[in-house]
Structure 1
Amino acid sequence: MADEDAERVLLGMLMSSSKAVDEATDILSGQDFYLPKHAVIWSTVVAMWADNQPTEPGAVRRVLEEAGELARAGGDLYLFRCVEDVPTAAGTASYYARVVRDWSKRRIVAESGMRIVQGSKNLQIPVDALVDSAQRDIHQAVVGMEQPNVSAVADLIDDELDHLQALVNGEVPRGISTGLGALDELIGGWQPGQLVIPAGRPGMGKSVAGLGFARSAARRGIPALVFSLEMSKRELMHRLISDVGEINLYRITSGTLDQHDITRARGARDRIAGWPLHIDDQARTVAQIRSTARRFRQKHGALGVIFVDYLQLLTSTTKSDRRDLEVAQFSKELKALAKELQTTVIAACQLNRKNEDRGDKRPQLSDLRDSGSLEQDADIVILLHRDDYYEKECPRAGEADFIVAKHRNGPTDTVQVGAPLHYSRFVDYGY
């Protein structure tokens, strides 16, 4: 399954023009060629081009012969045939490179289909694992992730310095805003590839915080996906309407709204409807989350934030007698998903009861429930704490602490925020 003529014409163009090499290397890798001899010629030509050597057939022949690879490349006559086969009115190298790349994708999809057929007959392979493997193959075919991603720092430094200057000039945002200015100042907003763990005891506001993070991204036009394992879509919409419309959540859930509340709810509807915020309340496994996220990104072209509520409610697709090992696998897979899709994955997590045995009740990293690997895999861990949860008449009623207990790329500190939870939100302190 290949267009061997297109491969041969492309190689002929590469040995005729260094500009053609420049165009093709942005599209192809050696793995995209169907014939092994074409892959050998490609890798030789690209290496010579990178070393500023001439890439005409005679020079390529000499390098191949010195490396003992000439026979594998089809012999010296084949090199000259490649050049001779370039049509007089040939298109650009990028055109032929895309043809070769297209056939490479088709082969990946076909091979994936064969594995699906074979795997479906093996009852020892879980169905979710089978589906996930197939979708991973197809995703790689679509976005080209199987191409090598190795870069020399010399090729990266200038772009990074330009990016840093743009940051200083205020021309690009530091990251996706959390919606809380003080938290943004501390962590710089969410960055692609991060796994963020907001953690707390039940009732501390993990879901409110995570939904707020997703809402903050969406209201800025950045696509966000919410996977709710605890609440239904209706319950999440109640919280969004409460937040955006500034309507007491209890009045919504108890059905005691008045006409003024309905008017505010309709106004909230008009704002929410324009946000790229999406909700899934059916996913139960990381494989299902990964599948949905991949399809979403392929369809919409971008995905800024994924919020999973919450991690301990995920179901494992493999049997294990130890829950801590299952949770450890969840965190590793979610971190891998963040890197794969270059998005921020925010996974809420429950803390154990150890903090309640301490005098001040403040949580610590060691309170993360079920698995120490959560601390290891996460880039940022935010522990939620409210004094008024334990003491209703405390001086800090209506306030909360976002304790940034781990920050892989920066400082840790405690951010004080307002907690008007009757509006299903956290806000900057003093709001």
Structure 2
Amino acid sequence: MSVPTQHDGIEDGGGSLFDEAPAQSFERLPPQDLNAEQCALGGMLLSKDAIGEVNETGINSSAYYRPAHGTIHDAIMDMYGKGEPVDPITVGAYLLKAGDIERIGGAAYLHTLVQTVPTAANAQYYAEIVVDRAKLRRLVEAGTKIVQMGYAAEGEVSDIVDAAQAEMQAATKLSAGAGLERVQWVDDMLEEYLVSMDAPPPSRLPLPYIDLEAILPMEPGDLVVVAARPAIGKSVVLLDIARHVAIKHRLTVLMSSMEMSRPQLMERLMAAEARVPLNRIKNRDYEGDDRQRIHEAAMRIGQAPLVVDDGPAASIVQLRSRLRWLQGQNKLPAVLCVDYLQIMKGSGKSGQNRTGEVDEVSRGLKELGGEFGVIIIAAAQLNREVEKREDKKPMMADLRESGSIEADANAVILLHRPDAYEKEHERAGEMDLIIGKNRQGPTGTVTVAFQGHYARARDMATGF
């Protein structure tokens, strides 16, 4: 069914753009209020104060049902931002120069908008109506997409469910634009700060390496990247953090591993926690008190709030679904460990290259941390340039395939083991955690003892 192009009580102004309202395959007209759209625009054309008030609602051109109204809105906001006078004549001249005057119905339609509005004082109220109708339209659009996905039945059912949940969540959280609800006067911020001066310091994530915890505070919403070449220790560090946080401190951890299966993860977890060599666990070649150590470790692990997801090539949509499910169980994790970033799937947008896909995943992880208030620790692969240099110590420039990883991360930890390249090196058994970026503190290097046979690392001072 085609969308009607003429509405009771509304004067079109004759522009062809009015006949191009967003096409939808609905049986009835999508939610909209053209009177409110006209009154919001008319108020802004009448009063400069009204423009600021309307802008506070977060409205933008995409909130308008009629594209012509969105075009007029953009013209008003552009002129307002430049400090130019805004009225029907100046806006008409702006649109004429831009080649849009006929598309919006001619200069006469701008005067019609002014005549339509009862008073400019209510422009913000009308804009809020426009924003609300836009949100409702997007809910309808999301519902339509979900119905189409269900009928198409393309791909795994679990993936379709995840995509449907993402569509609905995006629609329910959608704002018509960037409102000012988070703007705050600095004196109010200062008052809050002074009140908090004597409060306990914000909680930091407890880390398994004392010196690293002292230098690198990790707080909710942070994205921390642990980067290295293959077989240097990325998975070891992530698993050390997961064990320490979940087993010793009883904080929930979600471990998303695309590198290892659950049995492989459990073998490494058991080797590290029981201090039984990994090869003996893999080969079932136990010695001495190995079995007793394993049973004691199993008791500790079994009581820990550690959740493992070993699904192949997770996406941001899937991770969001996992977090939402845990949130619904009142078990939202303090930490999400991702192993590793470059294996994750992007949205698969047409024409997107690998760099664009990695950029998308990196930004998605950062947004996910902020959305749920979860610390995200993601492993990342460094490029081969490390191995081509005489000095194998990694640098920030070695982050593979994407500059966005460095930009998005709150902190980047680069791993280096001298004996990975020279077995008889004088520092054999040591691993450097090079803090290449730290938004909350200094950079520097922390050295730990690498115990690969136990699939773990330890503080140098703690020895065995």
Same fold by TM-score greater than 0.5 = yes
Indicate the residue corresponding to 1:166 in structure 2.
Answer: 199
Quote the Cα distance in structure 2 between the aligned partners of 1:248 and 1:293.
33
What SS is found at the alignment partner of 1:288?
helix
Q: 2:342 aligns with which of 282, 287, 312?
A: 312
2:301 maps to amino acid = I
Quote the Cα distance in structure 1 between the aligned partners of 2:435 and 2:357.
25
Q: 1:273 aligns with which of 289, 302, 327?
A: 302
Tell me if the contact between 1:241 and 1:268 (Cα under 8 Å) persists in the aligned partners: yes
1:322 maps to amino acid = N
2:234 maps to amino acid = K
Does residue 408 (structure 1) correspond to residue 439 (structure 2)? The answer is yes
> Which shifted more, 316-325 or 303-312?
316-325
Quote the Cα distance in structure 1 between the aligned partners of 2:156 and 2:240.
35
User: Alpha carbons of 1:186 and 1:69: their partners in 2 closer, same or farther (altered >3 Å)?
Assistant: closer
CA-to-partner distance for each residue in 1:376-411, whole Å, 9 max, x for gaps? 111111000001111112121111100000112321
Indicate the residue corresponding to 1:135 in structure 2.
Answer: 165
What SS is found at the alignment partner of 1:417?
strand
Return the offset for 1:299.
1.6
Quote the Cα distance in structure 1 between the aligned partners of 2:191 and 2:297.
45
Indicate the residue corresponding to 1:192 in structure 2.
Answer: 220
Quote the Cα distance in structure 1 between the aligned partners of 2:136 and 2:289.
58
Quote the Cα distance in structure 2 between the aligned partners of 1:274 and 1:268.
10
State which structure, 1 or 2, has the greater radius of gyration over its C-alpha atoms: 2
1:264 maps to amino acid = R
User: Alpha carbons of 1:408 and 1:425: their partners in 2 closer, same or farther (altered >3 Å)?
Assistant: same
CA-to-partner distance for each residue in 1:42-99, whole Å, 9 max, x for gaps? xxxxx9xxxxxxxxxxxxxxxx9882479979xxxxxxxxxxxxxxxxxxxxxxxxxx
2:182 maps to amino acid = V
RMSD value, Cα: 3.6
Does residue 258 (structure 1) correspond to residue 291 (structure 2)? The answer is no
CA-to-partner distance for each residue in 1:268-320, whole Å, 9 max, x for gaps? 01111111110011142322122112211222243211111111222334154
Indicate the residue corresponding to 2:322 in structure 1.
Answer: 292
Does residue 217 (structure 1) correspond to residue 245 (structure 2)? The answer is yes
Indicate the residue corresponding to 2:387 in structure 1.
Answer: 356
Q: 2:404 aligns with which of 337, 352, 373?
A: 373
Indicate the residue corresponding to 2:229 in structure 1.
Answer: 201
Tell me if the contact between 2:345 and 2:361 (Cα under 8 Å) persists in the aligned partners: no
Tell me if the contact between 1:195 and 1:346 (Cα under 8 Å) persists in the aligned partners: yes
Quote the Cα distance in structure 1 between the aligned partners of 2:420 and 2:146.
51
Quote the Cα distance in structure 1 between the aligned partners of 2:382 and 2:120.
63
Tell me if the contact between 1:283 and 1:289 (Cα under 8 Å) persists in the aligned partners: no
Indicate the residue corresponding to 2:458 in structure 1.
Answer: 427
Quote the Cα distance in structure 2 between the aligned partners of 1:154 and 1:378.
30
Tell me if the contact between 1:119 and 1:125 (Cα under 8 Å) persists in the aligned partners: no
> Which shifted more, 282-291 or 361-370?
282-291
Quote the Cα distance in structure 2 between the aligned partners of 1:310 and 1:154.
43
- How many residues align? The count is 336
Q: 1:67 aligns with which of 112, 116, 121?
A: 121
Where does structure 1 lack aligned partners over 5 or more consecutive residues? Answer: 1-35, 41-46, 48-63, 74-104
Indicate the residue corresponding to 1:337 in structure 2.
Answer: 368
Tell me if the contact between 2:252 and 2:331 (Cα under 8 Å) persists in the aligned partners: no
What SS is found at the alignment partner of 1:279?
strand
Quote the Cα distance in structure 1 between the aligned partners of 2:301 and 2:157.
36
Indicate the residue corresponding to 2:63 in structure 1.
Answer: none
What SS is found at the alignment partner of 1:426?
strand
Return the offset for 1:253.
1.2
2:453 maps to amino acid = H
What SS is found at the alignment partner of 2:219?
coil
What SS is found at the alignment partner of 2:230?
coil
Return the offset for 1:113.
3.8
> Which shifted more, 404-413 or 312-321?
312-321
1:397 maps to amino acid = A
Quote the Cα distance in structure 1 between the aligned partners of 2:167 and 2:190.
32
Does residue 231 (structure 1) correspond to residue 263 (structure 2)? The answer is no
User: Alpha carbons of 1:140 and 1:301: their partners in 2 closer, same or farther (altered >3 Å)?
Assistant: farther
Quote the Cα distance in structure 1 between the aligned partners of 2:162 and 2:175.
16
1:165 maps to amino acid = D
What percentage of residue pairs aligned between the two structures are identical? 37
Return the offset for 1:424.
1.4
Indicate the residue corresponding to 2:419 in structure 1.
Answer: 388
> Which shifted more, 159-168 or 211-220?
159-168
2:364 maps to amino acid = E
Quote the Cα distance in structure 1 between the aligned partners of 2:331 and 2:174.
15
Tell me if the contact between 1:387 and 1:397 (Cα under 8 Å) persists in the aligned partners: yes
Tell me if the contact between 2:242 and 2:253 (Cα under 8 Å) persists in the aligned partners: yes
Quote the Cα distance in structure 1 between the aligned partners of 2:290 and 2:434.
34
Return the offset for 1:227.
0.7
Tell me if the contact between 2:246 and 2:304 (Cα under 8 Å) persists in the aligned partners: yes
Does residue 150 (structure 1) correspond to residue 182 (structure 2)? The answer is yes
User: Alpha carbons of 1:263 and 1:320: their partners in 2 closer, same or farther (altered >3 Å)?
Assistant: farther
Quote the Cα distance in structure 2 between the aligned partners of 1:240 and 1:261.
14
> Which shifted more, 335-344 or 317-326?
317-326
Quote the Cα distance in structure 2 between the aligned partners of 1:71 and 1:293.
36
Q: 2:272 aligns with which of 236, 239, 243?
A: 243
Return the offset for 1:366.
0.8
CA-to-partner distance for each residue in 1:304-349, whole Å, 9 max, x for gaps? 1111111122233415462222111111111111111111111101
Indicate the residue corresponding to 1:84 in structure 2.
Answer: none
CA-to-partner distance for each residue in 1:208-264, whole Å, 9 max, x for gaps? 101112222212121110111010111111111111111111111122113611110
Quote the Cα distance in structure 2 between the aligned partners of 1:305 and 1:157.
30
> Which shifted more, 158-167 or 339-348?
158-167
Quote the Cα distance in structure 1 between the aligned partners of 2:174 and 2:269.
36
